[in-house]
Amino acid sequence: MWHNFSGSNLEVTDGLINEFNETVGKEKGIVVSVTSLSYASDQNEKLMMIAAGDSGAPEMPDFTRLPCYGGNSHERRAFGPAGRLFHR
């Protein structure tokens, strides 16, 4: 998972991830690992490289929190909402 949280958002996110890894993740053999990026613009740049098929792009994370700004509508459509990935 990629994100650029800091402060209390980072603490809450890390706590939720740790709780998941120690409970449901452990039970189902799933481990969420985090790559924290300093700036949303860095994350956005890497994601746009991936979407464009840039040969120098990093590997796509399984999950990321998309920055809420930047990019045009065509770029944003390259990625879909996570809601459709989760089932109750």
Q: CA 3 to CA 6: how far, in whole Å? A: 9
Is 64:47 a contact under the CB 8 Å cutoff?
yes
Q: Give the per-residue pLDDT at 34.
A: 86
Give the number of other Cβ atoms within 10 Å of residue 74's Cβ.
8
pLDDT of residue 81: 58
Evaluate if pTM is beyond 0.85: no
Q: Which of 72, 80, 75, 69 is nearest to 40 (CA)?
A: 69
3-state secondary structure (DSSP) of residue 16: helix
Per-residue pLDDT tens listing for the chain (88 residues): 888 788 888 899 889 999 999 999 999 999 998 887 777 788 888 888 888 899 999 888 887 776 555 555 555 555 665 555 555 5
Question: What pLDDT sits at residue 27?
Answer: 97
Helices and strands counted in the chain (H then E) = 4, 2
